Each structure stands twice: as structure tokens, then as C-alpha cells.
Amino acid sequence: MRAAPLAFAAWFAAFSAGCAHAPGYPPDPIPRPTAVSDFASLYNKNCAACHGPNGQNGPAIDLANPEYQALIDDATLRKWISSGMPGTEMSAFAESKGGTLTSAQVDALIKGMRQQWSHPNIFAATPPTYAQSQPGDPAHGHDVYSSRCASCHQSPQQDITSPNYLALVTDQALRSIVIAGRPDIGQPDWLHDSPTGKLTTPLSGQEVDDLVAYLAGFRNSAPQIAANTAGKK
């Protein structure tokens, strides 16, 4: 009679251990979202859908572009991740802004990007600044676009003057792409010629300012008509 309680205890222990690994039952406790700290997990969950697997080939700018990583500083990256980018689909991810990421997780994302995708001395020449410091001239930007951009942006799929496309990107995003390029889709940077892939006369900071001002005008037809007219004089 004494063996029965022992047998029952052994059976219950085995049954409990089996249930712990039954289908649908996690074998280990699931970590709280705020406890996740590795870059791959954070990036795949929060960034990959828009910026692409491994930072490339997404609808948004390719974060794996070392030129973009060299162009933007930590403080600006932190601002966009934490607070979002107004005028785009980039929403705020910081807990303090209604998102889900802690300050430490935002820092982990920035550190991971730098470790995996940045390269020292990537630029062959000093690029224009990340942020625009003065208003651009859309009339001159029209001339820059005609000579440097139009030959590759003629098809509907590559029409960067489309108001539908421009409604999804800010002037800063346009500027970043003009300067750093998008190598994942064949878009050259400010220093290279797309048809040949060779070094060409680099765009000056003023030309970048003017080009962005010209493109931005397509969001508002009246200024753009005026710019096109002025550019033909």
C-alpha cells in the first residue's frame, strides 16, 4: 500500500514535465518585449518591413548603405527612431512617444547599425551636409534635374516627380537619397553617374538644395509651374 503514493508522485511529475513541452506550450518563459536587446531581433520586428531584410531592398531608405550611415549622426538617427519622421509612414517607436521601444532598445538599434553597416572613410570626397541650411532655388533645380536625373527617371516606375511618390517622402528623405544614393536599387550617389557607374562631377551642396526644392514643388502644382516657367527663361 505504501508504493501507491510514490507511484502517483512519479506519474504526476512525468505528466507535468510532458505538458510543459506540449504543442502550444512554450518550453521557456517568453521574454518581455522590453527585455529584448539583441539587434537582429529588434531590427526584424521593428524595422525590416519598411527598410528591408538586412537593411536593403525595402520601400524605405536602405539603412545598410554605408554612405547613409556616414551621413547621418547618432542624435538624428535616435530622433527619427524615437519620434518618427513627420510627413512619412515612419512612426514613433519610443515608449515616451507612444511606441514600444525603451531608450536602451533604441540605443541597441543604433549601435547594431553602426557595427554592421558603417565603414570608415567611405566617402571619396566631402559630401554635402545631411541637413539643408538654406532655401533651394527650384528654377535652377529644374536645370540640375534635366542634366543629371531625367535620363534615368522617365518611366512611370521611376518617376520621382510623381505627387503620389512625393507624398510619401520628405524633403530630408529626398536629400539623403540624392547624396548617399540607394545602391540596393541602383540609385547613384551625388558623386557617380548612373548610366556608367563612373565618377562624375559631384553635385555641390547648392545643387542638392536646388534639386530637392524642385522635386518638392511637385507636391504643390502652383509653385512647380512657376519654377518650370522660370527655368525656361
- Per-residue pLDDT of 12-70, as tens digits, reads 454 455 444 455 555 555 556 677 889 999 999 999 999 999 999 999 999 999 999 99
Q: Contact, 219 vs 209, CB < 8 A?
A: no
What's the grid cell of residue 108? 541597441
Q: What is the model's pLDDT at position 25?
A: 53
Q: Where are the domains of the chain?
A: 33-117, 138-231
Q: Contact, 214 vs 138, CB < 8 A?
A: yes
Cα separation of 184 and 150, whole Å? 20
Residue 152 CB coordination number (10 Å): 15
pLDDT in tens, 136-180: 999 999 999 999 998 888 887 788 999 988 988 999 999 999 999
CA atoms within 13 A on the CB side of 11: 6
Choices 1.10.760.10, 1.10.287.1260, 3.30.70.2470, 3.40.50.300: CATH for 33-117:
1.10.760.10
The letter for the amino acid at 155 is S
Instruction: Say which residue, 122 or 32, is predicted with more confidence.
Output: 122
Burial class for 65, CB neighbours closer than 10 Å (0-12, 13-18, 19+): buried
Q: What is the model's pLDDT at position 13?
A: 52
Indicate the class that CATH gives domain 138-231. Answer: mainly alpha
Give the residue-averaged pLDDT of 103-116.
97
What's the grid cell of residue 230? 522660370
Give the residue-averaged pLDDT of 183-209.
87
Percentage of the chain surpassing pLDDT 70?
A: 78
Task: Kindly list the distances between the CA atom of residue 34 and the CA atoms of 27, 102, 107, in Å, as whole numbers in the listed order.
Answer: 20, 6, 13
Q: Is the pTM of this model over 0.75?
A: yes
Cα separation of 138 and 156, whole Å? 22
Return the closest-CA partner of residue 214 out of 204, 205, 224: 224
37 phi, psi to nearest 5 deg: -130, -10
Q: What does the mean pLDDT of the chain come to?
A: 84
Residue 10's pLDDT band (cuts 50, 70, 90): low
